[in-house]
Structure 1
Amino acid sequence: MAETKKIEEGEEKITIEDLPGVGEATAEKLRENGYDDIMTLAVASPKDLSEIGGIAEGAAVKIIAAARKYADVGNFETGEEILERRKSIKKLTTGSKNLDDLLGGGLETQSITEFFGEFGSGKTQIMLQLAVNSTLPEENGGFDSDVLIIDTENTFRPERIIQMSKYKGLDPDTVLKRIHVARAYNSHHQILLAEKAADLSKEFDIKLLLVDSLTSHFRSEYMGRGSLAERQQLLNRHMHDLLKFGTINNAVIAVTNQVSARPDIFFGDPMTPIGGNIVGHTATFRIYLRKSKGGKRIARLIDSPYLPEGETVIQLSEDGIMDGS
């Protein structure tokens, strides 16, 4: 096999078989697990690659090193180049102008937006509304795309999709056909579904991936301080799989999260989202939902790379999510 070198612009694009140490059998295993191009291999970890490909960790290190040379990983970019790349980012409407404005125009592609709050705060309703909205034409704030939902708590209700679709003037049957739902029965199944989402994206134009909820299985299966490190490690891997899907497919990733009360907080709101720093650092935008009077909910943006903190009022109704007065 030829010595690894950077491919000059205009030359033939290389495949993973061109990497030293990657034969047909190894390439097939890698592709089955989502490692189907040079960039995904370049940013892989040797341990994961070794387990998936059935190869020695030393060989995995050499494959990754070669992929990084081809992919030219690690170069710095100017701010101007990053600004140009960000022009490909799209925004998905929430159905509420107030909430869209709070998020700078809607939910961003290539990012994770987390909605957290107590039971009944409207998290699932927002997820269902986003699923409907993603099928809207782009001129109406949608993506005209299909949707993936990883449902961990059996909260998906097609009846709500029908109600929301009718209000938007959409054909409910068409919308339901564009929403692909998988029930996750435990945390490992949840992680596997996120990995397999890449396969479905080759068959359908997926521009929205929803996880409702992100942490419920991890919270129930890994209890106590003794299992905290393992839980956080798995959760970290899961969130980065989701983010990778969003980046590769220029898709919105939206997740819900639960809260718990911190007994050491005596003043202010004691509620804090599950998942600690792993979720906090990986989620790009974080929205805290609180109940208000009637069907109203208060949505507060508590974390964003470039938007100020703020809050707004939204309305939950039979027709879906809309502005609260």
Structure 2
Amino acid sequence: MEIWRLPISASQRGKLISAGYTSLSSLSSISSSDLARELKVSESEAMNILNVASHSRGPETSNASCSIVEGAQSAWDMLHDEESLMHITTSSADLDNILGGGIHCKEVTEIGWSSLSLIVNSVLKYKLTTAFGSESIIFMLIGGVPGIGKTQLGIQIAVNVQIPNDFGGLGGKAVYIDTEGSFMVERAFQIAEACIEDMSEYNRFLRKDFQECKIKMQPQDILENIFYFRICSYTEQIALINYLDKFLSAHKDVKVIVVDSVTFHFRQDFDDMALRTRVLSGMALKLMNLAKRFSLAVVLLNQVTTKHTEASLQLALALGDSWSHTCTNRIVLYWNGNERYAYIDKSPSLRSASAAYSVTARGIRNSSSSCKRIKMM
């Protein structure tokens, strides 16, 4: 049972959600005094909230336990599921190759960028540190400098998820959550036009005539299938993430959620670091569950910052180590001279590799350089 269903006042529900409590289970181990301090209410009011939550949790706990047991899956079935996962192309074959085919559904891919310009030698020489957990749903962190094309990549993915099944795509729709105001609808239209034009190159793989499919898909259709949300505060962001479950139930053809950027509103106005950690962890868990339940991809854009140690220069995720533990894979975007590169720094399933790519008028594409684009580490 989620907090918004709890039979308490709207004001109390709002305070709980703003403090990062999204489900009854998140209230199971907190004392009334701690809850009162976090919600800035009296201890008696906090005790009343906990009592209501306790009475509402009874049947749910046993049902959840039965659901977990009945949902047991063999390792063989898990392997089969992973091999059959659909993916979203980035429109760069070289980038898709190092990603194992593109951005996979049922996975959360985190894309970040750094405020410091790093050349390739820096990326490969220094250890890029982030500790990741062992979740079954894969997270990726991709970092790079400003101008590296992170928003361009987010828009490209929101467009490419709509490529029809006949063309090797998912034929889905996209949710784009913009916290920075960086989404450019004119740019999305350009990328949509180029995407439709590129479909003609895949004719040899198709059983249907390209012209027939082209008539059914126009740039304006692609834009209509991108559900755009502008978020101006962390409370709005939390509320929207909690609302996505209901939204996706009504729009089951959505196959990707892009958040640009996931940490923008959490880098300020937070004096209580423990509260921020809990809010972010709850949000990450919610997105992981959405990715798995609705078989969609989640792309989170994040900022990478730098920190100096005695022995090395290290890249660290914005918001610190606690947020970094939610991820298992990490990809860094960087400049090598005048060329953009993507580097897989850490992954339990992908080899460390780098690939060059370009940001063109048509969107993300292979690098035009004549040098070797893919390098396995």
TM interval, short-chain normalised: 0.7 to 0.9
Give 1:158 deviation, angstroms: 0.7
Shift of 1:172: 1.5
Which residue of structure 1 lines up, in the alignment, with residue 100 of structure 2? 104
Tell me what 1:272 maps to. Answer: 316
Per-residue CA distance 1:42-91 (angstroms, 9 max, x = gap): x961528x99x996232244233221243144875432132233355211
Q: How does 1:240-251 map to 2 (within 5 A)?
A: 240-251=285-296
Counterpart of 2:190 (choices 152, 159, 163) is: 163
Residue equivalent to 1:214: 262
Rate the CA distance shift 1:274–1:265 in 2: closer, same or farther, 3 A.
Answer: farther
Report what 2:373 is aligned to: none
Maintained 8 Å contact 1:112/1:282 = no
Q: Which residue in 1 is equivalent to 2:27?
A: 47
CA contact (8 A) 2:254 2:296 kept: yes
Tell me what 1:184 maps to. Answer: 231
Partner of 1:304: 347
Secondary structure of the corresponding residue to residue 308 of structure 2: coil
Alignment check: 8 A CA contact 1:299 1:312 kept: yes
Aligned residue number for residue 13 of structure 1: none
In the TM superposition, residue 196 of structure 1 has moved relative to its aligned partner by 1.1
Secondary structure of the 1:45 match is helix
Change (3 A) 1:69 1:262: closer
Q: Contact conserved, 2:6 with 2:53, CA < 8 A, in 1?
A: no
Distance (Å, rounded) in 1 between the aligned partners of 2:278 and 2:6:
29
Alpha-carbon distance in 2 for matches of 1:272, 1:46:
28
Shift of 1:207: 0.4
- Please state how far the C-alpha of 1:305 moved relative to its aligned partner: 2.5
> What's the CA shift for 1:264?
2.3
**Shift, 1:266, TM fit:** 5.4
Percent of residue pairs bearing the same amino acid type:
26
TM-score by length of 1: 0.78
CA distance in 2 between partners of 1:276 and 1:141 (Å): 39
More deviation, 56-65/143-152? 56-65
- Contact 1:111–1:246 at 8 Å: present in 2 too? yes
1:113 aligns to 2:156 (yes or no): no
- Aligned-residue offset at 1:25: 9.1
CA distance in 2, matches of 1:122, 1:316: 7
* Cα deviation code 1:295-318 (max 9, x no counterpart): x31111123231122111111111
Contact 1:91 1:141 in 2 (8 A): no
State the shift of 1:210 in Å. 0.4
CA distance in 1, matches of 2:351, 2:320: 22
Task: Decide which moves more: 244-253 or 115-124.
Answer: 115-124
Deviations 1:139-168 (A, max 9, x none): 434311110011000011111111111111
Residue in 2 that maps onto 1:313: 356
Q: Secondary structure at the match of 2:268?
A: helix
Q: Is the 8 A contact 1:300 1:310 kept in 2?
A: yes
Distance in 1 of aligned mates of 2:344 and 2:168: 20
Aligned length: 285
Matched, 1:81 2:77: yes
Higher relative contact order (CA 8 A, sep 6+): 2
The answer to whether the Cα contact below 8 Å between 1:112 and 1:285 also exists between their aligned partners in 2 is: no
Letter aligned with residue 131 of structure 1: A
Which segment drifts farther, 279-288 or 247-256? 279-288
Question: In 2, distance between residues paired with 1:256 and 1:115?
Answer: 4
Counterpart in 2 of 1:144? 171
Separation in structure 2 between the aligned mates of residue 323 and residue 305 of structure 1, nearest angstrom? 25
What stretches of structure 1 of length at least 5 have no aligned partner? 1-15, 17-23, 34-40
Aligned partners of 1:93 and 1:141 also within 8 Å: no
Q: Distance in 1 between matches of 2:243 and 2:94?
A: 35
Deviations 1:4-48 (CA, angstroms, capped at 9, x unpaired) = xxxxxxxxxxxx9xxxxxxx996xx9xxx9xxxxxxx9x961528
Between stretches 273-282 and 132-141, larger displacement belongs to 273-282
TM, length-normalised to structure 2: 0.68
Determine the C-alpha separation between the residues in 1 that align with 2:293 and 2:264.
26
Letter aligned with residue 214 of structure 1: V
- Asked whether the 8 Å contact 2:170–2:255 carries over to 1, the reply is yes
Q: Given the superposition, is the C-alpha separation of residues 88 and 196 from structure 1 closer, same or farther in structure 2, using an over 3 Å criterion?
A: farther
Encode CA deviations 1:277-299: one digit per residue, 9 max, x unaligned. Answer: 443332343221113444x3111
- Give the whole-Å Cα distance in 1 for the aligned partners of 2:336 and 2:70: 47
Structure 2 unmatched ranges of 5 or more? 15-21, 31-45, 115-145, 197-216, 370-377
CA RMSD of aligned residues (A): 3.0
Q: Determine the structure 1 residue equivalent to 2:211.
A: none
